[in-house]
Amino acid sequence: RFDMQGASLRGSATDGSLDAMRLSQVVVNVDDIFNPVLQLSSTGAGSLAKMVSFANTGPLKKILRPALLDVTATGRAQMDLNVSMPLKRLPTLNTVASAQANTNKSAPIPGLKINGSVFLKNNELSFGRAKLTVTEVDGAVGFTNSGIRINNLQALMGGRPVQVNSKTEGEGRSRVTEITMAGPMRASDMLDNYQIPITQFVDGESQWNVSVRIPMAASANEGIKIAAVSSLVGTRVQLPAPLGKPAGTALRMALSGTLNTNSENTEWLIDYGDTMRSLVRVNQAGLESFSARFGGGAPNPDIDAGIRLVGSVKSLGLDGWVSSVADFLDGLEPTANPKPILPVSADLKVAN
């Protein structure tokens, strides 16, 4: 339907399509044809996987693609979209710079405003670079010109309930979208997910807070930043002194690293209370190096290969460590091309 009254236009439809999404309602308004601003609102539903694909390749890709580049999804979803766009452009001088801008298809449209929401119910989402998957997702994901926003999205991760939130901060090429997940998780699952090979020494479930920071600049190559923090209450660490702890006590564990799609190597910085700080390097084959400093201070970053322990401790269960190292070696998965056992060295001062 189309109506014109004075200098205003109004159009509406109850059936249509936008790429693979079926539209059930579309309303278009132009209040003043002499100074036209298009106001469009629509509601539709369809395959969430096709919505993600449309977000990555369609007219909103400049806004959404950096965050959704490697996201895969299943199930169906509903989307509400509101767009405001001036149809009358201000005259510009015919300069070299303006000519280049006019030929740049990804240049932003002046005055364009976008506000939309995707409503999820029992969907599954996987974040490829972050190596995280959530299932039975229930809630809404909003998006504007600035990026993505999520408030109190409910989901399961590893079969346990988590709450997902997101916000976009910064301006221009400094914009960063941060996605956070909070809920009970197994430390072994968290460590194993990022190939940190000490999962056999932790047992139990604790509250974790996970942060994924994604640069929104299309050409950003610094990778995405992962950080995870837990008090480890509920998790038992089955290592000798000074690292072992029962499930009922709190001891802050924090790990952080940057994941790059163009690199097979990842560095993880792990803080374990005030006891130890370590730098762990892993690659597709597994552990490359483990550098740890006990008693405060930064770990030595110049360990190319092997395990290096330095610093001071109040106590050291030497017999237990011999047994733990043997268990660690026994737990390594056999491969067609076995690698040499990593060299181990220690320079620890034990308090009297």
More confident residue, 146 or 183: 183
Neighbours of 127 (CB within 10 A): 20
Say whether the peptide bond before residue 242 is cis (omega within 30 degrees of 0).
yes
Q: Give the mean pLDDT of 236-254.
A: 93
Compute the distance between CA of residue 178 and CA of residue 216 in angstroms, rounded to an integer.
10
Could you tell me the pLDDT band of residue 246, with boundaries at 50, 70 and 90? very high
pLDDT at 332: 62
Compute the distance between CA of residue 329 and CA of residue 107 in angstroms, rounded to an integer: 55
| pLDDT per residue as tens digits for the range 261-281 | 777 789 999 999 999 999 999
**Which helix (H) or strand (E) covers residue 165, if one does?**
strand 160-169
pLDDT for residue 1 is more than 80: no
Q: Please report which confidence band the pLDDT of residue 94 belongs to, taking 50, 70 and 90 as the band edges.
A: low
User: Terminus-to-terminus CA distance in the chain, angstroms?
Assistant: 87
Q: Which residues contact 211 (CB under 8 A, 6 or more apart)?
A: 178, 179, 180, 225, 226, 227, 228
**What is the CB-side half-sphere exposure of residue 241 using CA atoms within 13 A?**
10
3-state helix vs strand vs coil in the chain, percent to 5: 15, 50, 35
Which contiguous run of DSSP H or E holds residue 52?
helix 48-57
The two tokens of residue 54 are 């449309």
Say whether pLDDT at 125 is over 60. yes
Provide the H-helix boundaries in 69-120.
Answer: 96-103
Q: Is the pTM of this model over 0.85?
A: no
Range scoring the smallest mean pLDDT among 12-26, 153-167, 187-201: 12-26
Query: What is the crossing angle of helices 48-57 and 61-68, to 10°?
Result: 120
Tell me if 142 sits within 8 A of 155, measured CB to CB: no
Judge whether residue 98 has pLDDT over 60.
Answer: no
Looking at residue 250, what DSSP letter applies? -
